[in-house]
Structure 1
Amino acid sequence: MNTDNRVRRRELFNKDADGYRSSRPGYPTRAYRLLEEAGALRPGAKVLEIGAGSGQATRELLDRGADVCAVELGADFAARLRAEFHDRPLTVIEGDFDTLPDLSGDFDLVVCASSLHWLDRSTALRRIACLLRPGGWIAAWWTVYGNPARPTPFRSALNAVLRHHRPAGVLDVVGPFDRDVWIEALGAASFEGIRTEVIQWPMTMSAQELSRLYATFAAVRELSEPVRDALLRDIEATAEALGGRVTEHCVTVAYLARRNLLG
């Protein structure tokens, strides 16, 4: 994906900051415990969060005692972060991590929650390594709403709906399951001890909640309004036809790596 398209799609989230905040579920507790077990997340840790969005991960990092510097592209998201966490150890920098000119630091941990694929992979990882203290950590994770290895009646019906409406659906970026690509890129950027963990968890949502969730996805948001509305109506109708409440087998794929002590 070229830079212009990547930035354009990222900006789509900020156009419905309220919808994103109310509709996206948080991340499983295991993602944060993984960081705590490694010693990457602890009280007083200096954490850089890239793409903080509505603050789902930000809140968890702060609650675990970290001092957080959040970089956020969207003005509405940035304003909400400042307002919600005004009394917490949080600094918000509004801008694009790929092009911020004066970002500096000696961070213990950099967190990219559902955001690393929106950056220029090779240059961003090298920059992250430079912002970490030697031995500091990078953590990146993504949630997939529907486990490919555990098909459900809703997932089968949903795939038919998506094929019919043909949203831009599959972004031309490396995804969470492209393990070899991420491990190679992390290694090239002076990270070592790379580990991955696949966290499986259930999510039960009503038909309306599912429709609102899918409305937050970039591939859906960039559709024309009539096509987007038709797609969301069909998603809601699909869930209603299956009883009105649907349980999805979600997967959060996490990557954790440490900056080379000599890097």
Structure 2
Amino acid sequence: MPRGLPPRATFDRAADTYQSARPDYPPELYADLRATTAITPPAHLLEVGCGPGKATLPLARMGFGITAIELGGALAAKAREHLAAFPGVSVITSSFEEWEPPAGVRFDLVYAATAWKWVDADVKYAKAAGLLADGGHLAVWNADHAFPADVDPFFFEIQPVYEELGEGHDGPWPPPPPEEQPDPMAAEIEASGHFTVVSTNLYVWAARYTADEYIALLDTFSGHIAMDPAKTGHLYGEIRRLLAARPDGRLTRHWSAVLTVAARH
């Protein structure tokens, strides 16, 4: 990886596998998003950091018009490919900070899925507020590794390998269960002075992975993309060794997403 490449720019290296490797967001999330914001097709939405269209596609299928902004050229190309059947969706290759919207254009919803944290806080809130129509909302959500009470012991077995490589977990280990963690974005949104949080919803689900599937997933995370190949080679070898000892060769990874919806002041 080129020296000095910012973490948010690393995802373009995973453009070919991101759509298949990353989990889909729960249908309940989209239902809650629509219920809270009262948006109905063909409302015009703005997505910040669409990637290959992971969260764009479900909303496009519902009939929404979407302008999707994506920093990475390869990811934007994948998004156009995945969304080609939807003439009401356009994908623009740009950072949100540098994007110049057409004069007078307003959106009913500005949203970001697993992308908002990568955008400059000094720019994003004021810019999003200025692009919203009257009654419009900002919605952000994520997809994080969750550690509920029934977490797979695999993660305690592999963690020493991360520590050995100098790639240990930031914060307490193991992390608190998702229901004990605060909304990761609410305080920042409120502090921006442009929005008031109107709802927070938590979703937790689980997915099963073979060694190949799990390694493909890890290769879409900025920290693993940026990791020295010698480190990933050792890490992935240990993952394969641990899973080969299991009868079905699989692990269970829990996911959590927090949907935060805010109204413009």
The TM-score, its normalising length taken from structure 1, stands at 0.86
The amino acid of 2:76's aligned partner reads A
With over 3 angstroms needed to count, the CA separation of the structure-2 counterparts of 1:151 and 1:131, relative to structure 1, is same
- Cα deviation digits, residues 238-259 of structure 1 (max 9, x gap): 2333341112222112111111
For residues 202-213 of structure 1, the aligned pairs below 5 Å read 202-213=206-217
Matched, 1:120 2:120: yes
Q: Is the 8 A contact 2:51 2:72 kept in 1?
A: yes
Distance 1:170 1:119, change over 3 A: farther
Task: Name which of structure 1's ranges 181-190 and 202-211 shifts more when overlaid on structure 2.
Answer: 181-190
AA aligned opposite 1:237? R
* 1:259 partnered with 2:249: no
Report what 2:55 is aligned to: 57
**Closer/same/farther in 2, CA of residues 87 and 151 from structure 1, 3 Å limit:** closer
Matches for 1:137-176 after TM superposition, within 5 Å: 137-147=137-147, 149-167=149-167, 170=170
Runs of 5+ consecutive residues of structure 1 not aligned to the other structure: none
Answer whether contact 2:186 2:197 (CA < 8 A) is retained: no
Report how many aligned residue pairs link the two structures.
251
Report how far residue 178 of structure 1 moved.
5.2
Q: Which amino acid aligns with 2:32?
A: L
Q: Give unpaired runs (5+ residues) of structure 2.
A: 172-177
Does residue 73 of structure 2 align to residue 70 of structure 1? no
Change (3 A) 1:27 1:121: same
Which segment is superposed worse, 213-222 or 31-40?
A: 31-40
Q: Which residue, 26, 32, 44 being the options, matches 1:34?
A: 32
Change (3 A) 1:232 1:256: same
For residues 45 and 187 of structure 2, the distance between their equivalents in structure 1, rounded to whole angstroms, comes to 24
Alpha-carbon distance, 1:198 to partner: 1.1
Change (3 A) 1:164 1:103: farther
Residue matched to 2:8: 10
SS of alignment partner, residue 211 of structure 1 = helix
| Bigger fraction of residues in helix | 1
For residue 236 of structure 1, what is the aligned residue in structure 2? 240
| Partners of 2:97 and 2:120 within 8 A in 1 | yes
Task: Write the mapping of 1:171-250 to structure 2, written as runs, cut at 5 A.
Answer: 177=181, 179=183, 182-187=185-190, 188-243=192-247, 244-250=249-255
